[in-house]
Amino acid sequence: MPSQRLSPDVIDLPKGWVPALMRGLRGRCPRCGEAALFRAWLKPVDRCPHCKQDWSVQQADDFPAYIGIFVVGHLLAPVVIAMIGTFGMSAWLTLAIILPVAVVMLLVMLQQTKGGVIGFLWWHGIGAFKQERRAPEDKP
Ligand SMILES: [Zn+2]
């Protein structure tokens, strides 16, 4: 059956959750690393064209956005404090500068964050994902 997933014997499964997450961060399929994970900005492919992994079952939901808000907030908080405290800028001017910067930063990192979350969920078999591991390597 052509839609059947390729066996873990013939594809290069990641060695751990960090490589799986990194493949997702780069927008590659976390399972095989060979094909694109997204068909549109935040739309994952239904099925990996290379290893046939079903990505339609992913449940990243709002978690990538929460991660983005957390990271951008922590990166920009010291900037806001410096703009108001050190440089004496008004709160309105600070808001006028920081708000567009924060939105752009969030939009830029959202796809990578979603890819990383999908890779993490897949590696740990969370939701509808089935956990897979590499076969133990033979030691000489
Ligand atoms: Zn794949």
Tens digit of each residue's pLDDT (9 = 90 or more) over 91-139:
999 999 999 999 999 999 999 999 999 999 999 999 999 988 887 776 6
Q: 106 C-alpha to center of ligand 1: Å?
A: 27
Overall average pLDDT of the 67-85 stretch: 96
Residue 37 DSSP code: S
Q: 34 C-alpha to center of ligand 1: Å?
A: 6
Q: Which helix (H) or strand (E) holds 18?
A: helix 17-25
Does 4 have pLDDT greater than 80? no
- What integer pLDDT is reported at residue 1 of this predicted model? 45
Comparing C-alpha atoms, which of 25, 36, 2, 29 is closest to residue 13? 29
Model confidence pLDDT, tens digit, residues 7-36: 877 888 999 999 999 999 999 999 999 999
Q: 49 C-alpha to center of ligand 1: Å?
A: 7
Q: What are phi and psi of 123, to 5 degrees?
A: -60, -40
* Residue entry with tokens 């095989």: 32
Q: What are phi and psi of 38, to 5 degrees?
A: -115, 140
Does 3 have pLDDT greater than 70? no
Q: 6 C-alpha to center of ligand 1: Å?
A: 9
